[in-house]
Structure 1
Amino acid sequence: MTASGTTPTDEPGDRPGAPPGPFAGLSAIVTGGASGIGRVTAEALRAGGARVAVLDRTADGAPAGTLPLPGDVTDDAAVRAAVATAAEAHGGIDILVNCAGIGARGTVADNDDAEWRRVLDVNVLGIVRVTRAALPHLRRSPAASVVNICSIAATAGLPQRALYSASKGAVLSLTLAMAADHLADGIRVNCVNPGTVDTPWVGRLLAAADDPAAERAALEARQPHGRLVTAAEVAGAVCYLAGPASASTTGTALAVDGGMQGLRPRRN
């Protein structure tokens, strides 16, 4: 039974004749998995054979067949309860995808202390709380992997993103430290650094702009491949890092940004 009292639909591996996926037999938690990148990632993991739990403030948008776990990553007691429920329902935890996060706009002078605390509480301490609760289960897994969703904002100076960039810079450093700390536990820790992704959050930003079409064109132009990144492309990177094909990959930040981090193409 799920936290909401319903039973998830059958898993891919339960269907007669269904080929085993790369995540067959593995259990995953995806935070922020009811929308955007998190939701697409949860769908991709489940399609690959994983048993997936979705931890989100409002889990109503959790993909069909996943275990919805309503909870806020800023609430340590709620996080611990949700992680325990997922581990009990799915027989452990092998994969943790820390995708829950919120945005912020402005220079260093534009957000007050309360907003700084709020964003850091979700984007950084949220990862700490969920990973901390999952660690005992991950240590028992033969294929343990943590993937944090970071951002191009951690490695490139973006205008009007001081607070958001600071939070994602912390996620990048935290990922490296966690990877070093948990080598001996057999837990791989990596992160994905997306560029600007075509998600509902970006859609709301565009809708609020004076000229949404011009703003979208500007966002597309700053990525060398000339368009926004898709959530499915980010999910593909997450699945690679989480899966057995990357068993020797840890402490890595994988950019999915159309070349924004390192390329400087000539514009004719």
Structure 2
Amino acid sequence: MTGLSPQSEYRYYVRSICAVGDTSFWGGPYTLTTLCAPSTAPWIDDVETHLTTTNSTIENCWSSSPSNSTSTYRWNINGAGSTPSSSTGPSGAFSGNNYFYTEASNGSVGDVAELYSPLIDVTALTLPELSFYYHMYGQTMGDLYIDVFDGVNWVTTDSIKGEQQTADTDPWLEHKIILNNFPDTIQVRFRSIRSTNFYGDMALDDIEIAEAPTCPQPIALNVSNLTMNSAALGWTEVGAATNWQVEWGISGFTLGGGVRLMTTTNPHIQFGLQAAVTYDFYVRSVCTPGDSSL
């Protein structure tokens, strides 16, 4: 059959024609649902138009695997604050009420849950960028892999492994991935691998594909190797910058009022700190003269 509309359910009947004047009774009704047409970037899904679910169906042209039982480790949609398990998962959505999450009370160690985005047409974008917010609180948090379909194979573009927050009320974190060298129509797969216990509910919200800035902002700022008067300030470079501007100061300082410096090393070792004092720091990429991240 041709001339059908995308994402539509149709009912049809069939009968056999054995000879002229000799036909069977009509069989049916049978139903079919046509596939979704690709969405067009720039595109965002904040999960608010989805129905909350722990059953087999995730709507709006998303899909998941496994998808047939609430007793398996799989992706669900929550709209009621925290996940069902204690001491894991976020206290609520990043924005609005709804978010995707895995329920680690189900399944066994090593189980895989896959969440598939709609097809996204990125033809209008010069340099597509995938961004999303995630919450991964739980002492036995598993690993999250972000895959993109290139028309033939699934390509793993990045991963986030283990616990990233230490409380359900900790802020959601943003993750960004440049999607260069992919075809005009792509699909994203979030692949979660369950760890050893139920303290591993991971969550996703506000998933977006849009034009990347010419100088992307660094992400995943972190501090390591603390001493009484020094610290290693680190971050993840999303683009290709090799120069960064760091600003630091006593916690609560206004951006622009701290100590600014240029560095070509990541992590940057900052000396001259005072013992038992809390500091904040900011980083931006300097891609070319006059082109810096926000």
Q: Same fold (TM over 0.5)?
A: no
Using structure 2 for the length normalisation, give the TM-score. Answer: 0.28
Give 1 or 2: higher strand fraction.
Answer: 2
